[in-house]
A and B are shown apart, each in its own frame.
Chain A
């Protein structure tokens, strides 16, 4: 069971975990990414490539499902303006045992950061706004998965 959504609305982590918990597996792992408090940043704004984004997230979920024999995978990414402290992204996986669920969850968020067409802009207290530069460390983490 693969669920992929790109949305402006908030998501409810508990509600998103419930369907994965009912798939008959023994393990559900999840990751929630939150707009971090960072200096004078008040909000971030997320732009994406409609169509390609959903397809690339689905492809990653399919790859993870095959590699770790998952029973289910969910990827939700918010777009638009997100205030500091709000959730941005949610990844969850279900498998028979914990090792596969945890590894697949980690894989999905690492690869999402380098493969899915999203761009972040940081809005600051004084009204300035700058595009976030891609991090070499994110590329290295994604490449570690092969």
Chain B
């Protein structure tokens, strides 16, 4: 699965995207974050405050409990601040 990061999340992780083969028992967005957080100290820091993270699965905004099956891309970013 392709992971893409924006703004403060991108800076904390140090890259704007990466690809991982997820274990079969990772089924939701929240479980993705738990799994990714173990991959490096930067990921752990970036995902530490879950209340300040938002997600888009294949470019559709979703909540943490969303099912990731069949999705190609998960975007992780802070609350938006445009306008």
Contact = CB atoms under 8 A, between A and B. Distances in A.
Interface string A102-126: 0000000100111111111100000
Contacts of A12: none
Interface of A: 33, 46-49, 51-52, 55, 77, 88-89, 109, 112-121, 131-134, 138
How many B residues touch the partner, as a band? 10 to 19
Contacts, number: 67
A52 B6 CA distance: 12
A86 to B, nearest CB: 14
B79 interface: yes
Contacts of B61: 115
A52 B7 contact: no
B6 A49 contact: yes
B6 A119 contact: yes
A115 B79 CA distance: 9
Contacts of A114: 80
Nearest to A6: B82
Contacts of B77: 49, 117, 119
B8 interface: yes
Given A49-B6, A131-B8, A117 B56 contact: yes
16 contacts: A33-B83, A49-B4, A49-B6, A49-B56, A49-B59, A52-B56, A112-B83, A113-B81, A113-B82, A114-B80, A116-B82, A117-B6, A117-B56, A131-B78, A133-B79, A134-B79
Given A51-B59, A55-B59, A120-B82, 9 more contacts: A49-B77, A52-B56, A113-B82, A115-B80, A116-B83, A117-B75, A131-B78, A131-B81, A134-B80
